Amino acid sequence: MKPLLSFVIATFFLAGPALSQESETADEPTAWEVISTPDSNNLSEFLWQSRPIVVFADSENDPRFEQQLALLEDQAAALAERDVVVLTDTDPSAKSELRKELRPRGFMMVLIGKDGGIKLRKASPWDVRELTRVIDKMPMRQREIRERREP
């Protein structure tokens, strides 16, 4: 098991209720589709496909980490609509590639665009509404919105 994203147990815990309940609409994604733990610790696998949100903490018991995941879980559909995947890293001793590249100190949430650029860094939890506003202002997201409107 890779130490970078040993958050699988907590992901199952968060996704369990969403997977066991039927959603009101078939198109509404569950948290399992949004919160992922990739096998690789390389952000290039998401390039031009997804917008990673990387959530760092020194422990999976960090209250800010738990709050951030709860906020993301509550609005999974809004994140899925914007091609967001959530990556977590709660093991600073592993010295993962993500930690080397993004250099978090304690809790940190990083939004990365489809182009691989860092769009937002926050040292405190952010609501999905605030995150979607940042995403919706990105040029690539604006193009996606226009393409969906065109017949």
For 66-101, write each residue's pLDDT tens digit: 999 999 999 999 999 999 999 999 999 988 889 999
Residue-wise pLDDT tens digits, 100-138: 999 999 999 999 999 999 999 999 999 999 999 999 999
C-alpha 12/C-alpha 7 separation (Å) is 9
- Global pTM? 0.76
Identify whether the C-beta of residue 74 lies closer than 8 Å to the C-beta of residue 86.
no
3-state class (DSSP) for residue 102: helix
Rg (CA), the chain: 15
Beta-bridge partners for 109 = 55, 122
In this prediction, residues 5-10 reach a mean pLDDT of 36
